[in-house]
Structure 1
Amino acid sequence: MMQIMEKLSLYMEYPFVRYALVAGILIALCSSLLGVTLVLKRFSFIGDGLSHVAFGAMAVAGVFGLVNDTILVLPITVVSAVLLLRTGQNTKIKGDASIAMISVGALGLGYLLMNIFSASSNLSGDVCTTLFGSTSILTISKTELWLCVIMSILVVVFFVLFYHKIFNVTFDENFARSAGTKVERYNLFIAIIIAVIIVLAMNLVGSLLISALVIFPALSAMRLFKSFKSVTICSAVISVCCAFVGIIVSILAGTPVGSTIVAVDVVAFLISFVIGKKGA
């Protein structure tokens, strides 16, 4: 135990480890806040669809040789979130079909572009890093950290200020609309915020594992509590703790960061499932 603590203390002296912890905790917090809303609205896989869009956008950014791919990835993901919302409300293209359409199309196009235009000699490594996160969170720069901090603050402020509106839109859109709430506007805001979270989470868990970061803490909290407020707070606590433990274990054991965090989230869900079963 002492050796582990000494090793951890040694790693914490490096700035990139501290940056990774701060970024990981903030991303996990933001993901959990709106994760509850997405699960309750049965729109959980919007995160999966947008993550594939972000993968395609990163491939395009690589083609153009952009050093900071967020400049391109963020607006493309936000626009896709808006399109998903619009097409999901279309009677001809249902929500799940629109997500599958945009998701598969973006993923296929992104991989094709990476194959055609890639200048890297390790294409499979680049793809694996983008899809599963690998150790990219440990290479986060100070600029990227500040961007993450600013965006996370905006997400939290939005959620706190419009908590009651989000609550109403989540549970009963017809009642919210009759009460004067501009449902379409808040759905649009939620879609945009989710897009921002997806872009932030790409470095943490990769595009294929983002949905787990959004869904598992919410499902775990729902096994323990019933009220929206309690579930949201519990989801945030579980998500932050899992991200912290996952990053620490990843650093000490040398395992992929994203996969380790998701594994910890799965364990947390199983524990909450057992506790919820006993308390029922």
Structure 2
Amino acid sequence: MELLQQLTFLERGIAAGLLIGFISPLIGAFLLVRRMTIISEGLSHVTLTGITAGVLMTQTTVLFAGVNPLYMGLLFSLAGSLLIEKLRQVYQHFQELAIPIILSAGVGLSAVLISMTQSSYTEWYSYLFGSIITVTLNDLIFIFVTGIAAMIIVGLFYKELLSISFDQEFAVTSGISVKRINFIFSVLIALVISMSMKVVGILLVGALITLPVAAAILFAKSFRHVLILGILFGEAAVLGGVISSYYFNVATGGMIVAAGIFILVSAAFVRKLMDLSAKRVRKEQLS
């Protein structure tokens, strides 16, 4: 705790970003296998609803004065993830409806609550697009606690999460409680979404979950490789984005996403060159 207190605002932003860059692709790999990467967009807007509710409560209720709005964002994200899972069960033949329903509700409620608050444009801008200079000590502690919790969950239930992600029917026959693991995975997603708000921003958190994994699958030969490469690309995107946003004085989240896109485009270009080289070698061997 004393070490965190000694960090400067830039060091706090980098420390938070590195942890987020590690966790986000880790969850993104599981979402990719499940073909559910879009869920991050829906939950990010629900989290915004929670944050706006938290800001409003701190402004109107003495009991909640000084309480970090990110805590309320986490609660709403947890509720949203569980509601998505419930809606997927209700619409078994149209499960893709669950996310647009939650996303629409999150956007609508956020707009109503934001209009009721007295916060400045700058504060909402940092929540929407991220900002390293607004990461406080309390924010950093929140990010570290939720990040550690997320890593513990992945470590404890890695095999179960992997089994359900690849073959749910096999997982059921193996005696795995699919409902319980899906609930745990929902909690995991909510933790990652809520912890990423301050650095990446609500509107851009889905990109950090998706882009590093999208680059990783171009080279990976196994799921473990996807995890390792995704984390490396995620950390590279965060470092490049945070440092460049500081020196160019632009939105942190936007620069992180720009760095992620650059990595993805570069990875696709390298992959294309590798494929062309492999074809040329095969032609030479045949001739």
What is the TM-score of this pair, normalised by structure 1? Answer: 0.89
1:4 match:
none
Matched, 1:229 2:228: no
| 1:157–1:84 Cα change, 3 Å | same
Deviation at 1:201, TM superposition (A): 0.7
- CA 1:126–1:98 in structure 2 vs 1: closer, same or farther (change >3 Å)? same
Aligned match of 2:128: 131
Question: Matches of 2:41 and 2:157 in 1, distance apart?
Answer: 25
Matches within 5 A, 1:12-27: 15-27=8-20
Which position in structure 1 is the counterpart of 2:257? 262
State whether residues 55 and 110 of structure 1, in contact with CA within 8 Å, keep that contact through their aligned partners in structure 2: yes
Residues 168 and 176 in structure 1, CA contact (< 8 A), matched pair in contact too: yes
Query: Offset of 1:155 from its aligned partner?
Result: 1.3
Q: Which residue of 2 aligns with 1:103?
A: 103
Contact 1:74 / 1:199 at 8 angstroms: preserved in 2? Answer: yes
Q: Return structure 1 stretches of 4+ with deviation > 6 angstroms.
A: none
Counterpart code for 1:219: A
Structure 1 unmatched runs, 5+: 1-12
Q: 1:271 aligns with which of 250, 266, 269?
A: 266
- Kindly state the Cα deviation for residue 94 of structure 1 after the two structures are TM-superposed: 3.0
**1:58/1:73 contact within 8 Å kept:** yes
2:50·2:75 contact (CA, 8 Å) conserved in 1?
no
Cα distance in structure 2, aligned partners of 1:160 and 1:14: 29
Shift of 1:82: 0.7
- Asked if the contact 2:25/2:231 (under 8 Å) is kept, the reply is yes
SS at match of 2:35: coil
Q: How many correspondences in the alignment? A: 263
Q: Residue 278 of structure 2 aligns with which residue?
A: none
Of the two, which has the highest radius of gyration?
2
Shift of 1:119: 1.8
Aligned residue in 1 for 2:280: none
Alignment of 1:155-174 (within 5 A): 155-174=150-169
Match of 1:72 in 2: 72
The RMSD of aligned alpha carbons is 1.7
Give the match for residue 90 of structure 1: 90
| Cα distance change on mapping 1:279 and 1:178 into 2, 3 Å | farther
Q: Which has the higher contact order (CA 8 A, sep 6+)?
A: 1
Task: Answer whether contact 2:134 2:198 (CA < 8 A) is retained.
Answer: no
| Residue in 2 that maps onto 1:51 | 44
**How many angstroms does 1:93 deviate by?**
7.4
Normalized against structure 2, the TM-score is what?
0.86
